[in-house]
């Protein structure tokens, strides 16, 4: 399934299969830098539906849902952070950095296991400083609208 998603220039970020009684649901979450359109979700849904029906990978009746992970989804992997370069986020750290365990700013880059983070030190965002934060020290990260 991943190659079909990648053909559309997207990344499959999560796959869920759940059953409740006789109802089964396959949820496929796709994303890309800049976000995903409804049209892209519909196109992927058609392609994946045709593939799954042809290959008969799921022997029971199911509903296929394709969507983006949404803005409220936490960022957890290096790939999540890379897709959101340039976005404003709130970080909660496992260890204090410069006396802080919570920071607000923009993701500048991700290299190896490090997050390059442009921290806003005041509410207006006029005081900014780049911090290099190991990804394993990020307890939680969410996009701020």
Asked if 75 and 89 touch (Cβ cutoff 8 Å), the reply is yes
DSSP 78-91: HHHHHHTTT-EEEE
Query: What pLDDT, on a 0 to 100 scale, did the predictor assign at position 58?
Result: 87
Model pLDDT for residues 22-56, shown as the tens digit of each residue:
889 999 999 988 889 999 999 999 999 999 999 98
Query: What pLDDT, on a 0 to 100 scale, did the predictor assign at position 129?
Result: 87
Q: Is residue 122 over pLDDT 90?
A: no
Band (pLDDT 50/70/90 cuts) for residue 85 is: very high
Query: What pLDDT, on a 0 to 100 scale, did the predictor assign at position 99?
Result: 84
Which domains does the chain possess?
Answer: 2-67 (3.30.300.70), 78-143 (2.30.30.180)
The rounded percent of the chain whose pLDDT value lies above 90 is: 58
Model pLDDT for residues 55-78, shown as the tens digit of each residue:
988 888 899 999 988 777 888 889
Q: Is residue 125 over pLDDT 60?
A: no
Query: What pLDDT, on a 0 to 100 scale, did the predictor assign at position 60?
Result: 85
């Amino acid at each position: 399934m991943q190659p079909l998603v990648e053909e559309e220039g997207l990344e499959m970020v999560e796959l869920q299969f759940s059953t409740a009684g006789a109802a089964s649901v396959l949820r496929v979450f796709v994303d890309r830098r800049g976000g995903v359109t409804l049209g892209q979700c519909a196109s992927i849904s058609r392609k994946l539906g045709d593939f799954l029906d042809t290959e008969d990978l799921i022997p029971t009746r199911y509903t296929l849902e394709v969507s983006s992970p949404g803005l409220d989804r936490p960022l957890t992997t290096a790939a999540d952070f890379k897709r959101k370069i340039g976005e404003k986020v709130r970080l909660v750290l496992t260890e204090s950095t410069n006396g802080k365990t919570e920071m607000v700013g923009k993701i500048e880059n991700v290299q190896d296991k490090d997050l390059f983070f442009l921290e806003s030190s005041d509410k207006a965002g006029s005081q900014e400083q780049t911090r290099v934060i190991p990804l394993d020290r990020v307890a939680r990260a969410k996009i701020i609208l």
